């Protein structure tokens, strides 16, 4: 079985938000798809280990903010590479409240859902969400998962539904400066060592010291 073919499936990049009691929280997902048009319904796959999973299960609601190619890539690190258990993720991000849920302003738009059903797999929950509100923000094209990998050079965390173990073993011909937190590989023109000490990872905003040569 050649699982590399699974990379030919298409996905987007989304901030999934929900409520932890009264506090908004969220994470990154790439597996969201429309299931029916009437009633308008989407499915979302989320790892059991994501704190947002338990918040969706408890509150029965989630929102999808659709990231655009122009969205700040640090949103992906902010929501995707740290846990809502430890961090108040919405405290430092511009957001709007729609039907009681926080959505990202720096995005293409949003979808707010109430959970109408769910299915458990061994590692992920598939939530079925009936859309209760939706809207567009701006005109920028949506960021696809392929764009995230090829243009932004981001990696998949291990709990992404589409994670392939081979991503850890991709052969890199020369050693490159790689973010030890999110896996971003620096490919700028300037030698990495000559970058200012204030340089931070464009994906997860970790400081220069977190980069390792590998
Ligand atoms: Fe990083």
pLDDT score for 104: 97
Distance 184 CA to ligand 1 centre (A): 5
Query: Residue 168 has what pLDDT?
Result: 54
Dist. CA 74–CA 104, nearest whole Å = 13
Cα 182 to averaged position of ligand 1 atoms, centre (Å): 4
- For the chain, residues with pLDDT lower than 50 are 169, 172
pLDDT of residue 166: 63
154 CA from centroid of ligand 1 (Å): 9
Q: What is the pLDDT at residue 23?
A: 96
Closest CA to 46 of 101, 121, 109: 121
* Cα 73 to ligand 1 centroid, rounded to whole Å: 10
CA of 3 to the centre of ligand 1 (A): 26
**191: which residues sit within 8 A by CB, 6+ positions away?**
none
Q: Separation of 28 CA from ligand 1 center, angstroms?
A: 15
């Amino acid at each position: 079985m050649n699982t590399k073919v699974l990379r030919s499936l298409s996905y987007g990049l989304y901030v999934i938000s929900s409520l932890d009691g009264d506090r908004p929280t969220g994470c990154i997902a790439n597996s969201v798809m429309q299931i029916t048009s009437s009633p308008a319904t989407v499915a979302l796959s989320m790892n059991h280990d994501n704190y947002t999973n338990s918040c969706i299960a408890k509150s029965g609601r989630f929102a999808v903010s659709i990231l655009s190619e122009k969205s700040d890539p640090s949103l992906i690190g902010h929501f995707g590479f740290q846990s809502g258990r430890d961090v108040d993720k919405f405290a430092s991000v511009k957001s709007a409240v729609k039907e009681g849920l926080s959505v990202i302003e720096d995005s293409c738009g949003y979808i707010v859902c109430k959970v109408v059903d769910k299915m458990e797999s061994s590692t992920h929950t598939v939530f079925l969400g009936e859309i209760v509100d939706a809207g567009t923000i701006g005109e920028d094209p949506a960021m696809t998962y392929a764009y995230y990998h090829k243009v932004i050079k981001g990696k998949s965390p291990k709990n992404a539904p589409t994670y392939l173990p081979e991503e850890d073993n991709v052969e890199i011909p020369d050693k490159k400066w790689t973010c030890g937190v999110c896996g971003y590989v620096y490919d700028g023109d300037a030698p990495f060592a000559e970058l200012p000490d204030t340089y931070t990872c464009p994906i997860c905003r970790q400081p220069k010291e977190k980069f390792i040569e590998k």
